[in-house]
Amino acid sequence: MTTAVAAPFRFFSLQVVRTRRLGPSLLRVTFAGDDLRAFRSAGADQSLSLFLPHPGQSEPAIPIELGDNRWHGWRELPDDVRAVMRSYTLRTLRRDPDEIDIDFVLHGVAPGATAPAGPASRWASRATAGDRVVLLGPAIEDNRAIRFRPPEDTDLVVLWADETAVPAASAILERLPARTRARVWLEVGHAEDIHDLVTEADAEITWLVRGEVSHHPKGVGGAPAPRSLTAPREAELPPAGAPYVWIAGESGRVKELRRHFVRERGIDRRRVTFVGYWRRGLSEEQLRQQE
């Protein structure tokens, strides 16, 4: 007897239902669609690929009908036609009705921004109900795009996230069992981006605002280092025999903090999950070219 196995990922055609501003640089977009009945995920930091239309397009251009050849067909489309693809994390999945939330960081759109806005930030800042997108997401609950996997014997969870990974860290906190000890650092672009989080865990959460620097010269060339790096380095962690660390955000800082937890704190590298969501100075297209 042959048992049919579902493909782990598939395309979902979705529409914007509503948007909600969480802060100057954070926007929550809620999506719905009949396809979401087949969406499955059991992970707290579920990674997704979101395909967005260019200005003037009514929907993203991606040749889903090509099946296994869709990736080649998508890459062959002209740059100004091919759907913009960006990686995001699922913030929330709800049923009855089927909806998902994705939180966008409005790079270059928020007040005081000095860098130009990227295509995803521009799209999100203008998103309205009915706008159409395509999502590549999981059709099975346990899949390779879930990275937060603490061992069963974990007695302390340590989280660090910059603003791009705050949605994932927030979802992790919501799912931590009651009385789980957690030490958390979350960096955002503006003080107004700080928002309440719900968790049953015994969690100490420290919010950091980008641009804050330490008084200690631990940065490049002896310059003051950002607090997002010095705060976890200088913190006294609760005693633990089996800690688990999850670090996500800008690649350079993620790698630096991983070295700190492994080399300086002596945490087993197999118990440290680190994920580079982006790299300073490179677009997602450039990052994918290096993979």
Q: How many CB atoms lie within 10 A of CB 144?
A: 9
Out of 78, 103, 138, pick the residue that ends a domain.
Answer: 138
Indicate the pTM of the whole model.
Answer: 0.87
pLDDT digits (tens, 9 = 90+) for 111-140: 554 455 688 999 999 999 999 999 999 999
Share of the chain above pLDDT 70, in %: 86
Pairing mode, if any, of strands 84-94 and 47-52?
A: antiparallel
Same domain, 261 and 171: yes
Domain count, the chain: 2
Radius of gyration of the CA atoms of the chain, in A: 20
Flag whether 143 is in a domain.
no
From CA 267, how far away is CA 274, in angstroms rounded?
13
Which residues 6+ apart lie within 8 Å of 84 measured at CB?
51, 52, 53, 54, 60, 119, 120, 123
User: In the structure encoding, which two tokens stand for residue 242, read together?
Assistant: 């089996």
- Residues 185-189, mean pLDDT to the nearest whole number: 95
User: What pLDDT shows up at residue 212?
Assistant: 73
User: What pLDDT shows up at residue 111?
Assistant: 53
* Sequence-distant contacts of 177-182: CB under 8 A, at least 24 apart: 177/201, 181/155, 181/156, 181/157, 181/238, 181/240, 182/156, 182/157, 182/158
Flag whether 145 is in a domain.
no
Flag whether 240 is in a domain.
yes
User: In the structure encoding, which two tokens stand for residue 189, read together?
Assistant: 């672009």
Same domain, 134 and 16: yes
User: What pLDDT shows up at residue 290?
Assistant: 45
Q: pLDDT higher for 70 or 182? A: 182
Q: Which domain holds residue 90?
A: 9-138
Same domain, 173 and 273: yes
User: Token match 């203008």: residue?
Assistant: 126
CATH number for 200: 3.40.50.80
pLDDT digits (tens, 9 = 90+) for 227-264: 889 999 999 999 999 999 999 999 999 999 999 999 99
